[in-house]
Amino acid sequence: MSESLGLMVASVVLLSLVLSLLMLGAALIFMGQMRNVRDRVQEMGDELSRKRHTNATENGLLDVMAQLNHIEFNLAEEDARNHTSRKLIEDARRRIGEIRKGPYSYDKDQPGLDGG
């Protein structure tokens, strides 16, 4: 009987130890989460206290950004036109080079960049 009583006491002590460790782990996890919440609240407070632009300044910035985008788009279109012009010039130079080789060297049926 004393042996079974000792076994029962040991089981209760072991169970108490396991429960204590589980509670300690849960407490540490909870403290970590609370620390994260506190840090996030601090960040939000910092964001709210930051000075903001007025509506007029925001609108002005958006207008200038739109103008810069428009200029960039126009430059891209111009680059495309210049690229086509350069190809036409290269094709004309190639044709002139062929013609200069002799009276029968130019193949009139060879298509050019311009399709003709």
Q: Return the pLDDT at 65.
A: 92
Q: Write out the DSSP string of the chain.
A: -HHHHHHHHHHHHHHHHHHHHHHHHHHHHHHHHHHHHHHHHHHHHHHHHS----HHHHHHHHHHHHHHHHHHHHHHHHHHHHHHHHHHHHHHHHHHHHHHH-TT---TTS--TT--
Q: Return the pLDDT at 63.
A: 93
Residue 95 confidence (pLDDT) above 90: no
Q: What percent of the chain has pLDDT over 90?
A: 10
Q: Return the pLDDT at 108.
A: 76
Domain assignments of the chain as residue spans, ordered by start:
1-50, 54-110
Give the global pTM: 0.40
